[in-house]
């Protein structure tokens, strides 16, 4: 890495930081168990992932991926329909692969987290109680049995890289686990419902849209506190708060992060 002219801070908060130094990403994590999951999940995943250059805890060095992100929450996605379809096909390959050997969250854990985070939002007067109650009712649909598949677990738009309508890699696997396939699809289309048909053109059948919308409500309810604590703003246009406002009425706008 000799001769590097600058260092870019990609993300930084008290639990994790990612720096870009030339063509190398340096990920520093306080929890090495999460890094263990990330490295093993990338080795198991049947989709392109960043190349591991070296690991010296607490630092993991990854090669930069070619291309650009599929999009960002809070901004319109300029990626083509073909790129979205390619993302859908990649997610299908992942979901068709054998799940990783470690456990994912149980239904009881998800239900407990949902209620705990909603109660925090109410107690701290973050959002109107009626809006939170409506989204809690919508989110209830995710709390049903599913066949566990290999999920990424944090499949944000900014974690999927494309070039010339092909997927060049998927980042940030530290939440990979056996889980609900519809959760990955929901996170990838959070704030971008208008691109859902393009995604499903590549993914294929099996996506219950009511459950996808339920996962949008779930994600908004459980993510807001941690986003605020880590210095992100879920109130920005097109982000989590707008998702909560839109889901009960079935309206989703273009959406940053």
Q: What is the pLDDT of residue 250?
A: 43
Q: Is 179 within 8 Å of 151 (Cβ atoms)?
A: yes
C-beta of residue 87 within 8 angstroms of C-beta of residue 185: no
Per domain, the residue ranges of the chain are 66-249
Superfamily of 66-249 according to CATH: Aminoglycoside phosphotransferase (APH), C-terminal lobe (3.90.1200.10)
CB proximity list for 92: less than 8 A, separation 6 or greater: 202, 203, 204
Measured between alpha carbons, how far is residue 77 from residues 119, 136, 253 in Å?
33, 28, 11
Residue spans of beta strands (DSSP E) within 77-176 = 149-151, 160-163, 166-170
pLDDT at 3: 60
Give the span between the Cα atoms of 247 and 139, in whole angstroms. 10
Q: How many CB atoms lie within 10 A of CB 106?
A: 9
What pLDDT sits at residue 39? 98
Name the stretches of the chain with pLDDT < 70: 1-5, 247-257
What CA–CA distance (Å, rounded) separates 118 from 28? Answer: 30
């Amino acid at each position: 890495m000799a001769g590097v002219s600058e260092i870019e801070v990609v993300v930084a908060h008290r639990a994790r930081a990612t720096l870009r130094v030339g063509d190398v990403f340096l990920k520093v994590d306080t929890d090495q168990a999460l890094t263990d999951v990330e490295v093993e999940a990338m080795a198991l995943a049947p989709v392109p992932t960043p190349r591991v250059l070296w690991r010296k805890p607490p630092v993991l060095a990854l090669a930069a991926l070619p291309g650009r992100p599929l999009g960002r929450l809070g901004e319109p996605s300029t990626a083509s329909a073909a790129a979205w379809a390619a993302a859908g096909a990649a997610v299908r390959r992942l979901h068709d692969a054998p799940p990783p050997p470690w456990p994912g969250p149980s239904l009881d854990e998800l239900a407990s987290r949902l209620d705990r985070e909603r109660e925090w939002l109410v107690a701290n007067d973050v959002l109107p109680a009626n809006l939170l109650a409506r989204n809690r009712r919508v989110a209830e649909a995710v709390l049903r049995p599913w066949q566990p598949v290999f999920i990424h677990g944090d499949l944000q738009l900014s974690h999927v890289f494309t070039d010339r309508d092909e997927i060049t890699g998927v980042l940030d696997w530290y939440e990979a686990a056996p889980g609900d396939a519809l959760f990955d699809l929901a996170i990838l289309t959070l704030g971008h419902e208008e691109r859902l048909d393009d995604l499903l053109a590549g993914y294929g059948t099996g996506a219950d849209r009511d459950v996808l919308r339920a996962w949008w409500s779930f994600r908004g309810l459980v993510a807001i506190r941690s986003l605020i604590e880590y210095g992100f703003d879920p109130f920005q246009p097109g982000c989590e708060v707008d998702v909560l406002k839109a889901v009960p009425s079935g309206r989703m706008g273009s959406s940053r992060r």
